[in-house]
Structures are given as structure tokens and as C-alpha cells.
Amino acid sequence: MVAMPDIKIKTKKLNIWFGKTQALRDLSLDVYANEILGIIGPANSGKTSYLRQLNRLNELEADFRVSGEVILGSENIQKLKLEILRKTVGMIFALPQVLPVSIYDNVSYGLRMHGMRNKNIIDGIVEESLSASFLWSEVKDRLKEPAVKLSGGQQQRLCISRTLALKPEVILFDEPCSGLDPVSTAKVEESMLKLKENYTIILVTNNTKQAARVSDRTAFFLMGELIEIDKTQRIFTAPNDKRTEEYILGKFG
Amino acid sequence: MKTTTKQKIAFSVLFLCTIIVVLPVVFVLGVIIRNGWKAISWQFLTTMPVNGMRAGGIYPAIIGTLYLVSLSVIFSLPIGVAAAVYLNEYAKDNLLTRLIRLAIVNLAGVSSVVYGLFGLALFVNFMKFGVSILSGGLTLGIMNLPVIITASREALASVPYSFREVSLSLGLSRWQTIRHSVLPFAIPGILTGAILSLARAVGETAPILFTVAAFYLPNLPKSIFDQAMALPYHLYIISTQIPGISSEIRYGTAFVLVGMAFTMNIFAVIIRSRLRNKKKW
């Protein structure tokens, strides 16, 4: 008997609709604590809809409907206060979304807005967060410079720092390297591998090789359904479902 | 015909049209400056008119206009920006908001004399502010509202959606997001719209005709409940109602009026470019 890993997020029969289109069908899925769960699948497979459900960003869409349950730790996310949920479950977007303010203000933005006033504590958290995304040494002498001056890869790592500053438990990556060159991609992946020691990570990616490189387990979504989920090595060497194999081999998608 | 020849003709036509656009402006400014600049002196700007307004300065008209535009912007800027924020950030896209939007667009097209009558009915008579700076300022303010709302909404809409998404994803409330991640980046556009509407308010005659403007007052207004003289109305009076006024005074008054609007437009451009440089994305 292998000990069961801690379950961080339990998803039960999740259905999501945008207007008449169903984006996700009867999804049941467990995410373990301190793992990197890769989610792969072609466009419109529902992977981003799932990710955006975990911190309820889907609710920004006017015609969005949902059924089913997502349990974070022991709490139903629908019952959590949005502020708490989104602090606990951070999000990194596909393109680096830095705000047009300084590097320092970007990282400290969430903290300040959540009422932190003590400058020493903020300074400490800024350094800590920038170090955790391997950016500190590159920017420590120019924290007051506009963040938009950083390169694309640096900007994405700045976004990771900004999320880390709120001390989340789960970090969602929504195709975080789709606009980055290979060197920057490698750095972002390196920080993800480091971060999973303390955080639970879900990585949605269009790049199957990226899922193979960094994720512990990989889930394959197709047309809003979970086709299969297993250890990454198994998914990429001996998947159960023919469609998974075809997608990984590049036969469609 | 050869492609390059066609291209040359097309560019020439486009260039000609551009020149035609600029010509009237240059011509109007030229006439006013040529005929009016001699009248401009410190004395002209800072003394009361004398001798049945045939001589002396235009000081009370300048002061009146400054009062009016300040009051109108104090009234219309906060309300206009708030309405724009509501419409752009909060309002759901339903029949009611669509009607409101349509109403605002149409308000911008209502002729200014109608605003004047409306101001007379609402502020002067119904609310009993009388013929006063308050009534005139509020009337000008209402006339400016659609311009300010439209400019502010455009400014808000030009702030990338991702700023809101990032801010919300960090757990901030809708209001915090608007206050700290949207409004600061929309301010250049909002200010530009506000100043341009001010420049328009400076020159409007019809809305102040029934609500505030006085033919002639021997004293400056003491409070916002007094009547006042105003530049555009003063210009109308000295051009049509009083015989025997030198054209120098008339053109001089026009010069000051155009100069005020022009200065405001320049300010708008400067403020915009300065804030733009500071808040770039």
C-alpha cells in the first residue's frame, strides 16, 4: 500500500457553461498538495475554464453558469469570501500582465491593497517574493524603475512574485510561457519546480513537452471532458486512451 | 495610368483636403489677431467698460466667464466621471443601460439654446436661483456632461482589460480595482475631455443668455447668486446692440475669447502628454 497523498483541491462533477456552450462536463479531479499538475489538451478543451473556476475568475463573464463542487482544503470555494479565495489561489496569466508602475509597486500592490502598512514588512516580502522567482539579483538595484522595461521573461517572473507576495497555497499557471523564448521559458519552469516545495501548482499548457518536463501528473482534456489523468511518465509513454496518445504524438489538436 | 501616377494624384487630393481643413482656422485667427491685437493692453484686460461700453476694458466679462466655467466644471466633472465609471465598469449590458447610452449620445447633439431654455425653466424659475452665476454655471455644466461622460468612458475603455483581471485575481474588490488599477490610467483622457469641454463652455452664448448674462453691470458680481457679464454675450452685445463702437474693441474682445479657449486646448495637450509619459503601458 502506498500512502495516499494529501488532496489540496477536490473537484466533484463540475459543469461550466458560457451561454449555450458547455465548456466543462462532469469533471471530477483531485489535485494533490505540493504537486505540479499539468493539464494538456487542444483549444476549447475546457482547461482554461477549469483553471479560472478555481479562483472564480469565470464569474466575470456575464453569461457564465456552473454546477458541481470545488473543495479547497476543506472549504467549498463558493462559500469562501472572494478576497480570501483569490489570495489563497493565485493566478499567472498567459501573457505577462505587469501594471505600468514600478517593479516594487507591482510586487507590493496586492499587499498594500489588502491593508499592509508596515514598510519594513512589505520590503521583506518584496525581496522574498522576487528571490523565489529568481528575479531578485536581476532587479534589486532598480526596484523603482517601471516594470514594463523588463524583458518578457522577467515580466512573467515578476508576475509570479506578485502572486507569491500574497502567500498563496495554490498557484495557477495559464500557459505561462506561450509568449516567451526558450531561455526565459527554462527560467520560469525552474522557478515552478522550486515553488512546488511550498505550493500546489496547476499548469495549463499547449506545449506537451513542457508538461512532460515539469509536471508530476498530467491530465488530458478534450472537448470539455477529462479523458485521463495519471503520472506524467505514464501519460507520455503508455496512455490508456487512444486519443491521448494521438494528441501527444501530434496527430490532432 | 501607371500605379505611381495614381498614387501621386491620390496623395495630392488628400493633401489638398488637409489644407482646406486648416485654412479656415488660419484665416479666422489671422483676421482676429490682425484687427484685435492693438486693443489688447493690460488696461483693456483689467478695467471696467466706460462710456456705454464704447471705451475702457472688458474686465467684468472676463471675470464672469471665469466664474461660469469654473462652476460648470466643479459641477460636471465629478458627476460625469462617476457616471462614466458606472456605465463602463459596473453597468450590465441591458436595455436600460443601452437607453442611457443612447440618451447621452443624443444629449451631445441638442442645440445649446435648448439648454439655455432648460436652465431658465429649471434653475432660474423652478429652483429659484434667479438669473445668476449659479444658474448659468449649472446650465453650462449640464451641457458639458455628455462630452465629459463620453470622453471619460473612452478613457476608461482604453485601459487594458488585463489590468482589471490582474487586480481582481489578487483578491481586490471591484471598487479597489477601479480606484487603483483603472482610474489612475484613465486620468489623462478624462482630463483632456474635461478641458476641451471647458473650452467649449467658454465660448457658448445661448446657454447663458437667459440664465446669467447681463447687458451691463457697473460692479463685479459679489456672489454666485448675482448676475454677471460674460465674454461671448458681451461680444454679441457690442457687435450688434451698441452703435459706434470701434472695431478694435470688438476684435480685441474676440481675441481674448479665442485666446482663452486656445490656452485651455494647449493645456489639455500638455497635461495629456505629461501624464502619458508617466503612465505608459
Q: Mutate which of B166, B182, B279 to disrupt the A interface (most A C-beta within 10 Å)?
A: B166
DSSP-derived secondary structure letter, A38: E
| Low-confidence winner among A48-57, A63-72, B44-53 (lowest mean pLDDT) | B44-53
| pLDDT class of B164 with cuts at 50, 70, 90 | very high
Whether residue A216 is contained in a domain is answered as yes
Whether residue A154 is contained in a domain is answered as no
Q: Do B172 and A83 touch (CB under 8 A)?
A: yes
Q: What is the mean pLDDT of residues A60-70?
A: 92
SS3 state of residue B176: helix
The CATH number assigned to the domain with range B57-278 reads 1.10.3720.10
- Which residues in A lie closer than 8 A to residue B173 (C-beta atoms)? 83
Question: Where does residue B198 rank: exposed (0-12), middle (13-18), buried (19+ CB within 10 A)?
Answer: buried
Integer Cα distance of B206 and B42 in angstroms: 29
Q: Which residue has the cell 494538456?
A: A40
Residues with Cβ within 8 Å of A13's Cβ and at least 6 positions away in sequence, in order, are A26, A27, A28, A67, A68, A69
Integer Cα distance of B232 and B227 in angstroms: 15
Whether residue A83 is contained in a domain is answered as yes
Q: For the packed helices B112-119 and B133-157, what is the interaxial angle rounded to 10 degrees?
A: 130
Q: What is the mean pLDDT of chain B?
A: 91
Question: Who wins on pLDDT, B176 or B279?
Answer: B176
Provide the number of structural domains found in chain A: 1
| pLDDT class of A57 with cuts at 50, 70, 90 | very high
Q: What is the pLDDT of residue B281?
A: 62
- pLDDT, one tens digit per residue, over B19-40 is 999 999 999 999 999 998 888 8
Question: Where does residue B123 rank: exposed (0-12), middle (13-18), buried (19+ CB within 10 A)?
Answer: buried
Whether residue A107 is contained in a domain is answered as no
**Residue range of the domain that includes A81:** 7-97+169-248
pLDDT tops 90 at residue B280: no
DSSP-derived secondary structure letter, A146: B
C-beta separation of B89 from B182 below 8 A: yes
Q: What is the pLDDT of residue A3?
A: 64
Q: What is the pLDDT of residue B167?
A: 95
Q: What is the mean pLDDT of chain A?
A: 92
- Cell reading at A245: 496518445
Is residue A97 less than 8 Å (CB to CB) from chain B? Answer: yes
Q: What is the pLDDT of residue A122?
A: 95
State how far residue A85 is from chain B, nearest Cα, in angstroms.
7
Whether residue A117 is contained in a domain is answered as no
- Cell reading at B110: 441638442
Integer Cα distance of A55 and B168 in angstroms: 10
Nearest to B180 among A87, A97, A113 (CB): A113
Where b means 16+ CB within 10 Å and e means fewer, A135-154 reads: bbeebeeebeebbbebeebb
B167 → chain A, closest CA residue: A110
Is residue A53 less than 8 Å (CB to CB) from chain B? Answer: no
CATH code: domain of residue A62: 3.40.50.300
Q: What is the mean pLDDT of residues A122-141?
A: 93
Q: What is the pLDDT of residue A253?
A: 56
Q: What is the mean pLDDT of residues B145-165?
A: 93
pLDDT tops 90 at residue A168: yes
Percent of chain A scoring above 90 in pLDDT: 84
User: Where is A21: in which H helix or E strand?
Assistant: strand A21-32
How many CB pairs lie under 8 A apart between chains A and B?
62
State how far residue A70 is from chain B, nearest Cα, in angstroms.
18
Integer Cα distance of B57 and A230 in angstroms: 88
C-beta separation of A51 from A45 below 8 A: no
Helices vs strands, H then E, count in chain B: 12, 2
pLDDT tops 60 at residue A1: no
Whether residue A103 is contained in a domain is answered as no
Q: Do B92 and A62 touch (CB under 8 A)?
A: yes
Is residue A110 less than 8 Å (CB to CB) from chain B? Answer: yes
Q: Do B168 and A57 touch (CB under 8 A)?
A: yes
Residues with Cβ within 8 Å of B236's Cβ and at least 6 positions away in sequence, in order, are B205
Integer Cα distance of A186 and A180 in angstroms: 9
State how far residue A220 is from chain B, nearest Cα, in angstroms.
25
Integer Cα distance of A22 and A93 in angstroms: 23
- pLDDT, one tens digit per residue, over B205-244 is 999 999 998 888 888 888 889 999 999 999 999 998 888 8
Please give the ipTM for the structure prediction.
0.90
Nearest to B169 among A62, A86, A146 (CB): A86
SS3 state of residue A198: coil
- pLDDT, one tens digit per residue, over A232-248 is 999 999 999 999 999 99
Q: What is the pLDDT of residue B274?
A: 83
Q: Do A62 and B169 touch (CB under 8 A)?
A: no
* Whether the model pTM is above 0.80: yes
A56: left (phi over 0), alpha (psi -120 to 50) or beta: left
Percent of chain B scoring above 90 in pLDDT: 63
pLDDT tops 60 at residue B195: yes
Whether residue A231 is contained in a domain is answered as yes
| Low-confidence winner among B121-130, B173-182, B199-208, B272-281 (lowest mean pLDDT) | B272-281
Residues with Cβ within 8 Å of A118's Cβ and at least 6 positions away in sequence, in order, are none
Nearest to B185 among A93, A100, A148 (CB): A100
Question: Who wins on pLDDT, A63 or B55?
Answer: A63
Residues with Cβ within 8 Å of A198's Cβ and at least 6 positions away in sequence, in order, are A34
Q: What is the mean pLDDT of residues A65-88?
A: 94
